[in-house]
């Protein structure tokens, strides 16, 4: 499974990248607004750090403006994945950009039917929102399972399932069990995967026993 960080925090991105835990980055208008940074320079900086896909989202909802924004974002760097909403206009732009060889991440997916449309439009990634479905008492992970099953039926679909709106490590683990291609989440959720009380307990014991030897490796 590929790990994408859903953030614009440069330090978090650098740390995860240096640890080999980062395959890409996703952003959205809310994340950009929170950063307080200018959009284009920020995406350029992230693309310089990360070799994998960096999702940069259009801000408009009409086709004409969205198309122009998508072309501008795609020109930032070869690893930009233009992010478009799952609307008729968004999928039209997806088709347009994907036909030109640009990666497109179709976002705000909440049903298997929507995911099917995105694959038909040539999306490189489809982003089903697990946590937001859970919030309204629907099974977000069931959506992941349904989309994967549909895509597996048609070998000519190249769209990767990018699990989004991830709230906790179990979302990652359960999605990985299903065979989801990518997960995107805040860095803190990735870091939570390290945690286990038995690891902490075992390490503390090793450290204490090593001190008793009076030795030093260096």
> DSSP H helical segments within the chain, as ranges?
10-18, 29-35, 39-49, 63-74, 88-99, 112-120, 130-135, 140-152, 169-178, 187-192, 197-213
**118 three-class SS:** helix
15 a catalytic residue: no
CA distance 165 to 124: 18
**Candidate list 83, 95, 177, 188, residue with the active-site label:** 83
CA distance 116 to 111: 9
What tokens does 143 get?
């959506």
Residues labelled catalytic? 83
């Amino acid at each position: 499974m590929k790990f994408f960080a859903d953030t614009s925090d440069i330090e978090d991105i650098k740390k995860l990248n240096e640890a080999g835990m980062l395959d890409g980055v996703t952003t959205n208008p809310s994340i950009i607004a929170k950063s307080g940074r200018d959009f284009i320079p920020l995406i350029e900086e992230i693309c310089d750090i990360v070799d994998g896909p960096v999702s940069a989202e259009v801000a408009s909802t009409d086709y004409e403006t969205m198309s122009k924004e998508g072309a501008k974002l795609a020109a930032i760097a070869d690893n930009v994945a233009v992010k478009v909403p799952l609307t008729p206009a968004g999928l039209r732009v997806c088709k347009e950009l994907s036909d030109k060889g640009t990666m497109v991440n179709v976002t705000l997916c909440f049903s298997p039917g929507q995911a099917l449309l995105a694959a038909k439009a040539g999306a490189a990634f489809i982003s089903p929102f697990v946590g937001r479905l859970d919030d309204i008492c629907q099974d977000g992970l069931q959506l992941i399972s349904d989309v994967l099953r549909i895509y597996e039926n048609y070998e000519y679909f190249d769209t990767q399932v990018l699990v989004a709106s991830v709230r906790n490590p179990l979302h990652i683990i359960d999605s990985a069990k299903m065979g989801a291609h990518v997960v995107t989440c805040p860095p803190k959720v990735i870091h939570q995967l390290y945690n286990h009380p038995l690891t902490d307990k075992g390490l503390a014991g090793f450290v204490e026993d090593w001190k008793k030897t009076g030795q030093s490796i260096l």
